[in-house]
Amino acid sequence: MPRKSRELCNVGMFHVMSRCVPGLRIFERDRDKQRFLFEVARSIRKHLAEIYAYCVMSNHFHLLLCTETVDIGTVMQAPLAIVAQRWNWEHGRKGPIYDGRFTSPAVTDDRYFLNAARYIEYNPVKAGLAQRPEDYPWSSARAYLTEGGDDLTSTERLLACLSGGKDVREYAAWLRSPEPAAWPHGELPEWDGFATIEAVGAPEPDPLPAIATGIALRYGLSLEEMLGGSRRPQLVRARREFIWDAAGRGHAAVEIARVLGRSQALVSKVLAAS
């Protein structure tokens, strides 16, 4: 059965996850994590989105974010594509670095919101990389549990769920506990999201023709127009968006160039010019 493609209009709150292809650890160095978070922050500011929790590990990341002005794919396409392009260039490599497109289940209520935030920020402790969540420098836990905070995390929404935004002690105790049920206000309702998150596997990238068709429809174009030779500004913008979108979903520059009927060098130039 063919997999359902991601909806073009996809706004709201999401738990965004992506994993590297097996064998790659694209966020292993501190500067790689820093670069990714810089690009995420830039996209968040550009699109007026918010991050409530995040964690970047050596081979995967989690983001708990809300977007209300553009779809989730638009928010994620530049950070994913830029990191992929630069990482491949630095390592003399070609091809996808992500194991399929990112996954982004919708966060539909406070129960999922709080559990997902805790899961994300407890990730480094569970992996043995830190004794306490706030000891790991590449997550949002510091924004909630230390005085320093960070420039990426919007803390107000989560704190409002806990105690009207006045105190973090409840969240700190819950976050530091190895048992998710250790909630200060009593046991949480049954929730199977942890098993879902553990088992989630990033699906294969969308077929490039389907991505191209979606971009063309968004611009009111036919696929033939978008892939043709005209240099009209609208067509140039549509092709550029197709390059970013396809790269962000894990497709290599050579594949994108083949569908566009352009050179790989041109596609690489567009991706590098962010």
Tell me how far apart the alpha carbons of residues 230 and 59 are, in angstroms, rounded to a whole number: 41
The answer to whether the predicted template modeling score (pTM) of the entire model surpasses 0.75 is no
Task: Find the distance separating the first CA and the last CA of the chain, reported in whole Å.
Answer: 37
Domains and CATH numbers, the chain: 12-94+96-199 (3.30.70.1290), 208-272 (1.10.1750.10)
Tell me how far apart the alpha carbons of residues 76 and 109 are, in angstroms, rounded to a whole number: 22
- Per-residue confidence in pLDDT tens, the chain, 274 aa: 333 433 333 458 889 998 888 778 889 889 899 999 999 999 999 999 999 999 999 889 999 999 988 888 889 988 998 888 888 888 888 788 888 778 888 888 777 888 888 889 988 888 888 888 999 999 999 998 887 778 899 988 888 776 544 467 777 777 887 765 444 444 443 434 444 444 434 334 457 777 787 778 777 888 888 888 888 888 888 888 888 777 766 677 788 888 888 888 888 888 776 5
* Helix locations, 20-134, DSSP H: 30-47, 72-90, 110-126
Tell me how far apart the alpha carbons of residues 187 and 113 are, in angstroms, rounded to a whole number: 16
Tell me how far apart the alpha carbons of residues 56 and 38 are, in angstroms, rounded to a whole number: 12
Other residues' Cβ atoms within 10 Å of the Cβ of residue 225: 15
